Amino acid sequence: MTLARREDAHEAVLPFATADLLGEAPPSDSLRLEQRYGNGDLFKVLEILGVAGPLRVESPWELRDERGRHLIHAAGYAAVPFGERYPPLLEFVDAYLGKSRELGLPQQSAGAWRAALEANLVSLLAHVAPSHADSRVIFANSGAEAIESAIKLARAARPKARSFVNFAAGYHGKTHGALALTPNPEYQDPFLPLSPRTLTLPYGDLDAFEDALARHGDDIAAVVVEPVQGEGGVITPPPGFLAGLGEAARKHGVLVIADEIQSGLGRTGEWFASVAAGLDPDIVTLAKPLGGGLVPVGATLARASIYRAMLAGFASKRHSSTFAGGSLAMAVALRSLEIIAQEGLVTKAREDGRYALERLRQIQARHPRFIEEARGAGMLFGIKVRPVVGKLPFGARRLIPFDDDTLGQLAGVLGMRALHLGGVHACVSLNSARTVRLTPALNLPRPLLDEMLTRVEAVAQGHGRAWTMLTRFPLPRLIQLARLSG
């Protein structure tokens, strides 16, 4: 598309108007535009799979795809804690926009919304981890940016230490520093060398961590750990691992960064999953549910001594972000925390999660040739599907136009597609190729939770075996996918 221009070249005509997008019948060519102007190949893959949308919101917990298919919303990558367009949150945003007289970006002045959220977050953490009563907050615009802040805080507090410990299958983001902590060659290799330097250990192996501290403790600034690995396939560590990790790190003066971006603020049935597991972290990163599914918000909480090592006196300008701490984002995050607390969503997530996981495990037991394992922590679920290609006769493998890594990814995306066709909007797992995740709203009504689980079983029963997802996939589309896989 070529932008039409007025005679005055400084007055370019914009091809789309906001009024059109807010109309009764918004433009229907959004997929074509995404492919033309955005991440085109991603949307080509989604289109080939038949899940590219666009999707329409029918209720906070229900969607309708472009073909009219009804979907229960279990995607959103844990960033949609109340579903879409939750009325109490929308009503608050309307009130904020009508009444607040705060600066939109109070960068060089105190801001009431930012100050209130800082106080509430520290109070919330200190309630379960009293050692954080003096902690401070740095705001960000994403979880990855919150991790970047944590890296800088740890480096400033331990200036002679240059390395970080991370864990296999961990996920902390794709910005440069966060990517260094995300040990996935697909994402890392084109950008090597990365910083900071990392030592990657098996997740849940306390002996390996203690050995690493004994060998390299003086050079380790911090260990970064997810209390539940979300993108890794919803993996919960062995009992005692997190508490033991904290004790071992403290003995060597190594800081502990708890990445609660996906697990925190109710998703796993706890305000802070790391603290509930016995860890007293030095730095905590938060993001996804803070934005209420409406705005991007991230936060990094750190003990005062760590905070001041980076941001003391005139050095307090060492770290900043133009949009972080903006009043609208702070207001939405404040109201999101209120809704989680007032509606008892932490307890609800714990109870509903326990119930749903038991049902998923029963479904797996009835359909073991389709589902290999069902995992969960609160309202964070992982369904690991069987491989779509098993052992093949000699010479038959060459007929499948994908390498082994892509075949693993194919199982996950075909599982996501199968659930979509069965009426469940799910998400893939970036560090666990065959795991499809369900991250429904924390306030999902029980009847819809039951219906979601019923639809999951119908998908498993309808396929019988995982390889049928491949044999039922149209061959021309499979060839298109193979071409995109390189």
Q: What is the CATH number of the domain that holds 158?
A: 3.40.640.10
Is-contact 283 151, C-beta < 8 A? no
Please tell me whether residues 70 and 129 are part of one structural domain. Answer: no
Please tell me whether residues 214 and 232 are part of one structural domain. Answer: yes
Give ∠ CA 373-377-379 in degrees, rounded to 5: 105
Please tell me whether residues 402 and 315 are part of one structural domain. Answer: no
Please tell me whether residues 133 and 167 are part of one structural domain. Answer: yes
Residue 278 is part of which domain span? 100-342
Please tell me whether residues 335 and 450 are part of one structural domain. Answer: no
Q: Measured between alpha carbons, how far is residue 128 from residues 121, 133, 242, 281 in Å?
A: 12, 10, 16, 12
In a domain, 94, yes or no: no
Domain termination residue (choose one: 342, 377, 411):
342
Please tell me whether residues 124 and 163 are part of one structural domain. Answer: yes
pLDDT, residue 392, reads: 47
Q: What is the CATH number of the domain that holds 395?
A: 3.90.1150.10
14: DSSP letter: P
Q: Measured between alpha carbons, how far is residue 486 from residues 70, 185, 388, 479 in Å?
A: 34, 16, 19, 11
Report the sign of the C-alpha dihedral through residues 75, 76, 78, 80, in that order: negative
In a domain, 9, yes or no: no
Q: What is the number of other CB atoms lying within 10 angstroms of the CB of residue 66? A: 15
In a domain, 224, yes or no: yes
As for how many domains the chain has, the answer is: 2
pTM (predicted TM-score):
0.94
Residue 70's DSSP bridge partners are: 64
Please tell me whether residues 81 and 145 are part of one structural domain. Answer: no
What are the tokens at 14? Answer: 């914009």
Please tell me whether residues 189 and 272 are part of one structural domain. Answer: yes
Please tell me whether residues 255 and 162 are part of one structural domain. Answer: yes
CA–CA gap between residue 124 and residue 144 (Å, rounded): 22
Report the sign of the C-alpha dihedral through residues 361, 363, 369, 370, in that order: negative
Map residue 146 onto helix, strand or coil: helix
Please tell me whether residues 241 and 381 are part of one structural domain. Answer: no
CA–CA gap between residue 412 and residue 388 (Å, rounded): 9
pLDDT, residue 479, reads: 84
Place of tokens 């864990």: 167
289: DSSP letter: G
In a domain, 131, yes or no: yes
Please tell me whether residues 450 and 383 are part of one structural domain. Answer: yes
Among 407, 454, 460, 137, residue whose Cα is nearest residue 299: 137
**pLDDT digits (tens), the chain, 486 positions:** 444 445 565 677 888 888 888 877 666 789 999 999 999 999 999 999 999 999 999 999 999 999 999 999 999 999 999 999 999 999 999 999 999 999 999 989 999 999 999 999 999 999 999 999 999 999 999 999 999 999 999 999 999 999 999 999 999 999 999 999 999 999 999 999 999 999 999 999 999 999 999 999 999 999 999 999 999 999 999 999 999 999 999 999 999 999 999 999 999 999 999 999 999 999 999 999 999 999 999 999 999 999 999 999 998 999 999 999 999 999 999 999 999 999 999 999 999 999 999 999 999 999 999 999 999 999 999 999 999 876 544 554 555 666 666 777 788 999 999 999 999 999 988 888 899 999 999 999 999 999 999 999 999 999 999 999 988 989 888 888 888 876
Place of tokens 């907050």: 137
Please tell me whether residues 350 and 338 are part of one structural domain. Answer: no
Q: Where are the alpha helices (DSSP H) in 51-184?
A: 87-99, 112-128, 143-157, 176-180
